Amino acid sequence: MATNVINKYSYDRNSVKAGILHFGVGNFHRAHLEYMTSHLLEDPTQRSWGICGAMILPSDERLYKALKEQNGEYTLTVCGRDGKNEVYRLGALVELYWGIEQKEAILDKIADPDIRIITLTITEGGYNISRQTGEFMLDNAQVAHDLANPANPLTAFGYVAEGLRRRKASGAGPITILSCDNLQHNGNTARRAFMSFVEAQDQDLAAWMEKNVTFPNSMVDRITPATRPEDIERLNKENGTDDKAPVYCEDFIQWVVEDNFAAGRPAWETVGAQMTDDVTAFENMKLSLLNASHTLLSYPSFLYGYRKVDAAMHDERIAKFVRQFMDIDITPYVPAPKDTDLELYKQTLCERFGNRTVSDQVARLCFDGASKFPVYVMPNLEKMIGDDKELIRVAYLFAAYRHYLKYHTDDNGEQFEVADPWLTVDDHKLIDSDEPLDFLQLSPFRSTDLRAAHNFTQPYLRMVESIKNKGAMKTLEEIL
**CATH superfamily to which 6-276 belongs:** NAD(P)-binding Rossmann-like Domain (3.40.50.720)
- Is the pLDDT at 1 greater than 80? The verdict is no
Three-state SS at 136:
strand
According to CATH, where is 1.10.1040.10 located in the chain? Answer: 280-479
pLDDT digits (tens, 9 = 90+) for 395-451: 999 999 999 999 999 999 999 999 999 899 999 999 999 999 999 999 999 999 999
Longest dimension (CA), the chain: 67
Alpha-carbon torsion angle 36, 39, 43, 45, nearest 10: 30
Q: What does the pLDDT read at residue 4?
A: 84
CA–CA dist 79, 413 (Å, integer): 33
The one-letter amino acid code at 179 reads S
Closest Cα partner for 298 from 222, 196, 401, 379?
A: 401
Beta bridge partners of 53: 22, 96
Beta bridge partners of 47: none
- Is the pLDDT at 373 greater than 90? The verdict is yes
CA–CA dist 221, 152 (Å, integer): 34
Q: In what order do the strands lie in the sheet with 74-79?
A: 6-8, 85-90, 74-79, 247-250
According to CATH, where is 3.40.50.720 located in the chain? Answer: 6-276
Closest Cα partner for 180 from 29, 288, 72?
A: 29
pLDDT digits (tens, 9 = 90+) for 118-130: 999 998 889 999 8
Query: For residues 440 and 460, is the Cβ–Cβ distance under 8 A?
Result: yes
Q: What does the pLDDT read at residue 445?
A: 96
Q: How confident is the model at residue 338 (pLDDT cuts 50, 70, 90)?
A: confident
- Is the pLDDT at 457 greater than 50? The verdict is yes
Closest Cα partner for 252 from 159, 103, 147, 357?
A: 357
Q: What does the pLDDT read at residue 339?
A: 85
Q: How confident is the model at residue 459 (pLDDT cuts 50, 70, 90)?
A: very high
Per the prediction, the chain carries an average pLDDT of 96
By the 10 Å C-beta count (0-12 exposed, 13-18 middle, 19+ buried), 339 is classed as: exposed
Long-range contacts of the stretch 123-126 (C-beta < 8 A, 24+): 123/24, 123/181, 123/368, 123/371, 124/181, 124/182, 124/183, 124/368, 124/371, 124/372, 124/375, 125/368, 125/371, 125/421, 125/422, 126/24, 126/156, 126/181
DSSP H helices, 262-391, are 280-285, 292-304, 309-313, 316-324, 342-353, 362-366, 369-372, 378-386
241-245, 262-266, 419-423: segment of lowest average pLDDT: 419-423
Query: For residues 178 and 116, is the Cβ–Cβ distance under 8 A?
Result: no
CA–CA dist 238, 76 (Å, integer): 12
Q: Is 181 left (phi over 0), alpha (psi -120 to 50) or beta?
A: beta
Residue 123 backbone phi and psi in degrees, to 5: 75, 160
- For residue 125, the 8-state DSSP code is G
- In sign, the C-alpha dihedral spanning 287, 321, 342, 455 is negative
Q: What does the pLDDT read at residue 3?
A: 65
Query: For residues 182 and 251, is the Cβ–Cβ distance under 8 A?
Result: no
DSSP H helices, 112-248, are 141-148, 156-170, 186-201, 203-212, 229-239
pTM, to two decimals:
0.88
By the 10 Å C-beta count (0-12 exposed, 13-18 middle, 19+ buried), 388 is classed as: exposed
What proportion of the chain, given as a percentage, has pLDDT over 70?
A: 99
Closest Cα partner for 422 from 467, 362, 367, 342?
A: 367
Strands 6-8 and 117-120 come out as unpaired
**CATH superfamily to which 280-479 belongs:** N-(1-d-carboxylethyl)-l-norvaline Dehydrogenase; domain 2 (1.10.1040.10)
pLDDT digits (tens, 9 = 90+) for 289-337: 999 999 999 999 999 999 999 999 999 999 999 999 999 999 999 999 9
CA–CA dist 312, 475 (Å, integer): 16
Of 447 and 466, the one with more pLDDT: 466
Residue 338 backbone phi and psi in degrees, to 5: -55, 135
CA–CA dist 168, 288 (Å, integer): 40
By the 10 Å C-beta count (0-12 exposed, 13-18 middle, 19+ buried), 32 is classed as: buried
Q: State how far the alpha carbon of 429 is from the alpha carbons of 236, 304, 402, in Å.
A: 45, 25, 12
Query: For residues 8 and 87, is the Cβ–Cβ distance under 8 A?
Result: no
Beta bridge partners of 276: 258
The arithmetic mean of pLDDT across residues 35-61, rounded, is 98
Q: How confident is the model at residue 145 (pLDDT cuts 50, 70, 90)?
A: very high
